[in-house]
Structure 1
Amino acid sequence: MLIRKLFKFENAHLVRGCSTRRCSHSIHGHSYKVELLLEAHALDHGQMVYDFGLLKDGPRTLIDAFDHAVAIWSGDDPDYIAACQRFSERWILIPVSPSAEQFARLFFVLIDRLLNLTEMCNGEADVRLHSIIVHETETGYAQCFREDAINPRMGLITLDNIEFSQAIRNEWPDPKLFDKLKRGERTAHPNGV
């Protein structure tokens, strides 16, 4: 069985190397929608795949980090990177260009790691991230499956090559969340269920 949780955020980016000059040469923004699709073949004690309320903390925190921020490809021009970091306190440095496709892969890597490190406390069984869909516009989206997230032909994404600005981390309920994910620290459900 699949369940879906929808998140929204506003983000600015440049997509170097794309065919559309406006997108590749002018910083611009989108109203993104992100769909998390979780899969399980058993239900928890509440007869759910995974309580939607549990997705309001960790996953929402990571996705909301991109809201009103600029996503910067670490391979971009160093002067552009420095200017973005200087003039915007909310930025995320990522190892791939911030296209819808790469956002889908990036969110898959982040949320999959978070779910894998979360102690299941209410009888959840074999819950796993099925896919991530990132809507960049009303008519265009990218969907990432596990094999896409780890495909080296699409660019390597590891937690060690992602950087959230201090302003973003300071807003998190747990400012050390990302460091804990990188270290592989297990955590209980955020609401202590």
Structure 2
Amino acid sequence: MLIRKLFKFESAHIVRGCSSRRCSRSLHGHSYRIELLLEAHALDNGQMVYDFGLLKGDVRDLIDAFDHAVTFWDGDDADYIASCQRFSERWISLPVSPSAEQFSRVIFRLVDGLLQLTEMVNGEQDVRLHSVIAHETETGYAQCFREDAYNPRMGDFRLEQIRFSARICEEWRNPGLFQRLLAGQGSVNPRLC
């Protein structure tokens, strides 16, 4: 069975190398909608695949990091990157271009890492991330499946290459959230009544 949880954020980027000069040469923003699709073949103690409330912690914090942030490719022009960091306290440096396709892959890898490190204590069984859909516009989205997220032909990267600005990290309920993920330190889901 699949369940879907929707998240929203506003973000700005430039996508170098695309066909539109407006998108490849001008900083611009989108109202993104991110859909997480989780799957399991059994239900938990509440007869759910996964309680939506459990996604309001670390998962939401990582996705919310992109809200009102400038996201740039770390291989972009050094002056552009420096300007993004100088004029925005909320920025994210990615080792891949910030296209909808790569957003879906990056978010898949972040959320997948969190879920794999989470101790499930409410009867959740074999819960895993099925796919991530990144809606960049009303008419266009990219959907990333597990085989896409870890496919080096789509751009090889490691989570360690992602950099979140200090301001973003300070706003997380746990400022060490990303470092904990990188270190493989898990968390325990709260027990639900």
Fold conserved (TM > 0.5)?
A: yes
Q: Is the Cα contact below 8 Å between 2:122 and 2:191 reproduced in 1?
A: no
Paired with 1:157 and 1:68, the residues of 2 have a C-alpha distance of 24
**Does residue 120 of the first structure (1) align with residue 155 of the second (2)?**
no
| TM-align CA RMSD | 0.7
Partner of 1:33, secondary structure, is strand
Match for 1:167: what amino acid? R
| Deviation for aligned residue 1:158 | 1.4
C-alpha deviations, 1:142-166, integer Å up to 9, x for none? Answer: 0000000011011113111000000
Aligned length: 192
Is 1:166 the equivalent of 2:166?
Answer: yes
Give 2:52's aligned residue.
52
Structure 1 stretches lacking a partner, 5+ long: none
Structure 1, residues 97-128: CA drift from partner, whole Å, max 9, x if none? Answer: 00000000000000000000000010100000
Give the secondary-structure state (helix, strand or coil) at the position aligned to 2:133.
Answer: strand
* 1:186 to partner: Cα distance: 1.4
Deviation per residue, 1:46-67 (Å, 9 max, x gap): 0000000000111110110000
Separation of aligned partners in 2, 1:119 and 1:138: 36
Note the residue ranges of structure 2 that are not aligned, 5 or more in a row: none
Cα separation, 1, equivalents of 2:49 and 2:59:
16
Q: Is the 8 A contact 1:43 1:49 kept in 2?
A: yes
TM-score between the two structures when normalised by the length of structure 1: 0.98
| 8 A contact 1:109–1:157 mirrored in 2 | no
Identity %: 71
Once residues 57 and 6 of structure 2 are traced to their aligned partners in structure 1, the CA distance between those partners, rounded to angstroms, is 13
Partner of 2:181: 181
C-alpha separation between the residues in 2 aligned to 1:22 and 1:114? Answer: 35
Asked if 1:71 corresponds to 2:71, the answer is yes
Secondary structure of residue in 1 paired with 2:126: coil
| Match in the other structure for 1:2 | 2
- The amino acid of 2:69's aligned partner reads A
Measured after TM superposition, the shift of residue 192 of structure 1 is: 4.9
Structure 1 residues 21-32: aligned runs within 5 Å: 21-32=21-32
- Distance between the aligned counterparts of 2:167 and 2:51, measured in 1? 30
* Partner Cα separation in structure 2 for residue 38 and residue 164 of structure 1: 25
In structure 1, how many angstroms separate the alpha carbons of the residues matched to 2:128 and 2:48? 13
**Equivalent residue runs for 1:56-135 within 5 Å:** 56-135=56-135
The answer to whether the aligner puts 1:152 opposite 2:142 as a matched pair is no
Alignment correspondent of 1:142: 142
Amino acid at match of 1:111: V
